[in-house]
Structure 1
Amino acid sequence: MQEEQASAEKTGSKVGESRLSTPPTRRWITRGLVLLLMLSVLLNLGFYAWYQEYFTIAGGPTEQFETGDQFASDKIAIISITGTIMPPFTERILESIKTAHEDKQVKGILLEIDSPGGLVADSHQIYHRLVELRKKKPIVVSMKRMAASGGYYVAMGAGEEGVIFAEPTTWTGSLGVIIPRFDLSGLAEKVGVVSDPLKTGEFKDALNPFREMTQRERDIWDHILDESYQRFLNIITDNRKDLDYEQVKKLATGQIYPATDARENGLIDEIGYQEDALARLQEMTNLKKVRVIRYRHPVTLADILLGSAEASQVENRKQALLDSTVPRAMYFASWLGEVPGLQ
């Protein structure tokens, strides 16, 4: 009897354990289903972003009502330049400019800038398109937190007839050009790293961070920097009627100017907010009833996965040393501490 009772107790214990624990097969099935669900969600988000982006290419950005009379036929378009000026955001800005240029109902442009600058080529592309746009429609600039370096460069698209507003707390200026480079030759020597690239020309690895730059290489890059720098100075001179070349050159030391100093030095026209800039633009266009709209672009897959448009600019930190060998001339506020491509 005792043996039978013990056997029954063991059997009951095993049954209880089997009821409490999940079979391994079932656990793997559950995990597999969860993984498939997550992949399905990501794929659907990707297809949605691709769909939005594909069907916006031909039609351009969408309009979002901002303020004013929503039933008015005449419009003021807000074109926003936010964050670092670089792809893929450059293309979005250019699309907005093109849409405003072709829309006959758009009578004026409010250029909203909140940017520390960016790539030289991209800044100039935007400026060039704004010059074409201002021939047909007036442009007023509203600077937000900062409009530094390339951010100030694109503001010159408003021209002599345009008006530049900056908020009381805006930082602007930082006029100049920078090509980021690290010199790790001392560290390489300590750890025994020798740079020995296979190259087809003397200057092919001129920005190699693992050795010191030669004087011939430095002379070449100084020339390239000066060419972009002189273009920057001339563009400011051409578009700020109260500043000549020598005055601009004195201001172009790379330093930042708060709004009050920027106005005293002729870099901006007024200290005020977006509503003040819109009121001035409405006066310039002689519009009593106007619909203020903002251009919006569809969310891309990068925006969805990384959380924001700005996040998509962040590159893998493990690539920083390799990226430093790639020449990237920038109208960028280097005082921010981090530079696109070297974050």
Structure 2
Amino acid sequence: MENQSENPINSNMNDKTGWEREIVEKLAFAAITEQRRARRWGIFFKLLMFGYLLAVLGIAMYPKFKQEIGGSGKNHTAVINLVGMIAEDQNANAESIIDSLRDAVKDKNTKGIIIHANSPGGSPVQSAYVYDEIKKIKKEHPDLPIHAVVSDICASGCYYIVSAVDKIFASPASLIGSIGVIMDSFGFVDTMQKLGVERRLLTAGEHKALLDPFSPGKPDEQQYMQNLINQVHKQFIDAVRKGRGSRLKETPDMFSGLVWTGEESVKLGVVDAMGSQDSVAKDVIGAETLVDFTQQERLVDRIAGKLGASLGLGISDLAKSWILR
């Protein structure tokens, strides 16, 4: 019987098959490895994004934190920003400023408070709330100094507030004052007549359309509103006189709504001296470390407010469309 030797063709085919199998296995393992690597990176980026969203949510929900803005040491001077228009729907509103003041007072390391004032004024009601709170704190904590430092401008409602503090400091070029009240409007009666527009107004109540800009002005209504703003002006003047006391060197123009530079304000007793946050904290209060206690509006509240306003406008437009139908 003839010995069977290995067939060269079969051997070559087996070698070729083994080589192809090896390549396929390597490709398969490489694909699996790549998938695992991609999966790991995917998990990593998802965790990273989750952590980022948690951080943003935390800031949105709990934005109240104290931030050291200068100096070093345990004892500090609390800084509260009174910046921008004073109104209930603005950052400079009575609630946030009062909460900031109370937080600063509660901190046992607060050796004094500086109100950083840079505002053209705003709501007399919001201003009066903060004024009264400062007076209350001064009465309850007579040894805790509360000062104001004016940067660019401190006018109208802003000055109403800072007149309650112990001392007011400013820069020589700061603008301060405007102790007055304003109410403005427009009259479109002549314009409507020229355009041939007829005003159709129905009211229940003789003065319900008080100072309607599309109707002729009524002298009795104008006088009534003038009396109202005169009352608010008197409240403003009384608050300034009570806060500043004998330091105020009254002139005929003191309560006319004029503004003065910081340098002139010192001469009039509207401001006590020149100074900055750093100099007042170091030389007057004696605690040069500045800690910002200003409360900011929560991001979630800001978003909710915008959504609420948009929803309100949408409902209003929808109601109008229903009425027109």
Larger radius of gyration: 2
Moved over 4 A (4+): 47-51, 298-305
Counterpart of 1:270 (choices 270, 273, 297) is: 273
For each residue in 1:18-71, what CA deviation from the matched residue of structure 2 results, as whole angstroms up to 9, or x when unmatched? Answer: xxxxxxxxxxxxxxxxxxxxxxx9xx99x9877545445xxxx3100022224x
1:108 aligns with 2:112: yes
**Matched residue, 2:180:** 176
For each residue in 1:83-130, what CA deviation from the matched residue of structure 2 results, as whole angstroms up to 9, or x when unmatched? Answer: 100123213222211212332332211011000000111111111111
1:147 aligns with 2:154: yes
1:256 aligns with 2:254: no
For residue 141 of structure 1, report the CA deviation from its aligned partner. 0.9
Give, in whole Å, the separation in 2 of the partners of 1:51 and 1:200.
50
Letter paired with 1:207: L
For residue 157 of structure 1, report the CA deviation from its aligned partner. 2.1
- Conserved in 2, the CA contact under 8 Å of 1:53 and 1:298? no
For each residue in 1:310-339, what CA deviation from the matched residue of structure 2 results, as whole angstroms up to 9, or x when unmatched? Answer: xx9xx99xx9xxxxxxxxxxxxxxxxxxxx
**Matched residue, 2:208:** 204
- Conserved in 2, the CA contact under 8 Å of 1:170 and 1:258? yes
Letter paired with 1:213: G
Letter paired with 1:147: C
Give, in whole Å, the separation in 1 of the partners of 2:56 and 2:238.
41
1:225 aligns with 2:229: yes
Matches within 5 A, 1:152-171: 152-158=159-165, 162-171=166-175
CA pair 187-280 structure 1, distance change in 2 beyond 3 A = farther
**Matched residue, 2:291:** 293
2:131 partner SS:
helix
For each residue in 1:209-252, what CA deviation from the matched residue of structure 2 results, as whole angstroms up to 9, or x when unmatched? Answer: 112321111121111101110011111111112256x9266311
- Conserved in 1, the CA contact under 8 Å of 2:124 and 2:157? yes
- Conserved in 1, the CA contact under 8 Å of 2:96 and 2:296? no
Over the matched positions of the two proteins, sequence identity in percent amounts to 24
CA RMSD, Structure 1 to Structure 2 (Å):
3.0
TM-score for both structures, normalised by structure 2: 0.69
CA pair 112-298 structure 1, distance change in 2 beyond 3 A = closer
Give, in whole Å, the separation in 2 of the partners of 1:241 and 1:121.
22
CA pair 94-195 structure 1, distance change in 2 beyond 3 A = farther
**Matched residue, 2:5:** none
Give, in whole Å, the separation in 2 of the partners of 1:302 and 1:209.
38
Counterpart of 2:123 (choices 108, 119, 122) is: 119
Give, in whole Å, the separation in 1 of the partners of 2:240 and 2:180.
12
- Conserved in 2, the CA contact under 8 Å of 1:149 and 1:176? yes
1:247 partner SS:
coil
* Structure 1 stretches lacking a partner, 5+ long: 1-40, 306-311, 320-343
1:118 partner SS:
coil
Letter paired with 1:120: P
Letter paired with 1:262: S
* Structure 2 stretches lacking a partner, 5+ long: 1-48, 314-325
Give, in whole Å, the separation in 2 of the partners of 1:53 and 1:101.
25
Q: How many residues align?
A: 251
Letter paired with 1:212: P
